[in-house]
Amino acid sequence: MMMRDLPSRIAPLLEQISSPVATLARATSALRKDAHGHQPDEHLPPLQPRLAIPMAEKTADQTAYQRHFDQAQFLARQENWAELGELIRHFDSTRARTPGGLPVAEVMALGARHDAVSAALEAIEINDPDAARAPLDALDEVLSEHCEDHGVALVIAQAHIDVGWAWRGEGWRRDIPKERRAAFHGHFSAAARIIDRFDAFELDAPSLAAARCSLLAAETNPANRVADDYEDLIDLDPHSPRHMRAMGNHLLPRWFGSYEMLDLQARRTAERTQDIWGDGAYTWVYFDALAVDPDAFDTLDVDLFLQGMQDILERCSGQNMVNLFAAYTGMTMGSWCEPGTAQAQVADRFDWIARDLLREIHPMVWLSLPECAGQVQCNDPAKRTEKAGRVRALSTLTRHFAPEIKAGYRIAYDQSGLSIFPIA
C-alpha cells in the first residue's frame, strides 16, 4: 500500500557505478549542458571533487538494531523464551529505543520471529499452506508454555500478522483469491486472540498497543476505532514518532480515514504532546501521509507543518534525524513539485537543512523514503543497498548546489558544517 521500484533502466546503471564520486561527476556534467546538449566550457577542471561529504557506512542506529535483532534471534534458536520474554518486557516498559528511534522491544520481537516467518514465507511462495502453517504451529506451542508472558505473546502475535500479510499480498481486496483472503483473516484472528488476553495500559506495554493497531486491517469497521486505538498507543509512548507516522498513514482515505480526520488527529496529537514535541506531532502525523498521497496537501496547514519540523530538529538534532528530513524535503518533496504550492514550501526547507544542519550522509535513511511524493516505495532487498542510498543523497545535493558547482565552487562538508569556496 505504501512506500515501487526504481525504474528498471536505473538498475543496470547502479551496477556500473564504481563509486559515489563517479555518480556525482555524471550528474554535475549533465547539469552543465546547455539546452542543445553541448558542454559550454570544455576546460573546466574535473568535477569529481566538487562535492565532498562524509558517508556514515555503519551508523550507531544500524549497530544497535543489529545487536538487538541478533540477540533475540539467538535466544529464540536456543529456545530460551523465558529470558527473551523478560528482555522484551523490560525494553518495552522502559521505552528503550535505538539511536534512530526504533523501539528495541519491537526490534527484538522481529529478530525472535525471523526464522519462523522466513520459513512460512518460503512455503507461501510455492503456495504450500501446510508447510506455511508448520512454523506458526511451533510458535503457538511455545506460547502455550509461556501463556502469561506478554513479551513472548508479542513475538507470536506479530508472526501471525506477518504471515497473514504475506498470504494477502498488496492487491485490492477484490483481486485476492478467496483461499488467500481466508488465510489472511485466519492469521489476524489468531493474533487478535493473543493480543486480547493482555491489557496494554495495565502492563505498561506500548508494543501490545502497537500490535492492536496493526490488526485494524482485518477489522469489519476499522474507521470506528482507528483514532481511538492510535490515541491509546501514542498516550502510552508519546516520545516515539513511529506511532504518529503510522497513524497518519492509516488515516488516509485509502486505509481507514479521510483527509479531514487526518488533519483533526494531527492537531489533537500536537496539542496532547506540546510539552514533548512542540508542534512536531502535527508534522509527524502528516509525514508519511504526504509522502504516499500528495492529495493530503489539500488539508495541510503548511505553516504549522514547517514550525513542527523546526521544533523536531531543535529537539532531535542528531544526524540520523537530520538525514531523515533532508531526504524528505530534498528528495521526496523536492524531486518534482509545482512552484508556489504547499509541497514546494516543504521542499524549500531543504536549503536550510543542507546548509545549516547536515554534516554527513546516512545512506540507509535515504532509502527509507520514496524518491518522490506519491511513489510506491521499493521493498526489494537487492535494490535497498547502501550504494543506492548514497546515489540518492549525492544526486539530491548535486541538484541543489548546481548553480555553485557550475560557477566553479567546491561544496565540502565536515563535522563543523558546510564550506563553499572557489576552486583554485
Cell of 321: 534525524
Distance CA 4, CA 377 (A): 5
Give the type of residue at 374: G
The number of folded domains in the chain is 1
Q: Collect contacts of 133-138 with beta carbons under 8 A, ≥24 apart.
A: 135/159, 136/160, 136/163, 136/187, 136/190
Largest Cα–Cα separation, the chain? 75
* In-domain check, residue 123: yes
| The pLDDT value given to residue 220 | 86
* In-domain check, residue 47: no
What range does the domain containing 247 cover? 60-377
Q: How many CB atoms lie within 10 A of CB 94?
A: 11
* In-domain check, residue 398: no
Residue with cell 496547514: 301
Distance CA 293, CA 253 (A): 10
Give all strands of the β-sheet with 51-52 in edge-to-edge order: 51-52, 409-414, 417-422
| Range list of H helices, 58-205 | 60-77, 81-93, 104-125, 129-145, 150-168, 178-195, 200-203
Residue with cell 482507528: 226
Cell of 302: 503548511
* In-domain check, residue 260: yes
Which parts of the chain register pLDDT below 50? 1-48
Distance CA 44, CA 375 (A): 37
> Virtual CA dihedral for 307, 210, 59, 331, nearest 10 degrees?
-50
Distance CA 405, CA 31 (A): 9
Cell of 217: 486491517
* In-domain check, residue 367: yes
Number of H helices, E strands in the chain: 21, 3
Distance CA 370, CA 287 (A): 12
* In-domain check, residue 34: no
Distance CA 345, CA 333 (A): 9
* In-domain check, residue 13: no
Contact 238, 269 (CB under 8 A): no
| The pLDDT value given to residue 386 | 87
Instruction: Please give the sequence-ordered ranges of beta strands (E in DSSP) within 241-302, or none if there are none.
Output: none
Angstrom CA distances, 141 to 108, 111, 135, 190, stand at 20, 18, 10, 13
As to burial, measured by CB atoms within 10 angstroms (0-12 exposed, 13-18 middle, 19+ buried), residue 98 is buried
Q: How many CB atoms lie within 10 A of CB 347?
A: 23
Residue with cell 535515504: 366
| The pLDDT value given to residue 238 | 97
| Range list of H helices, 316-380 | 319-326, 342-352, 363-366
* In-domain check, residue 299: yes
Contact 154, 160 (CB under 8 A): no
Contact 295, 263 (CB under 8 A): no
Tell me the three state secondary structure of residue 410: strand
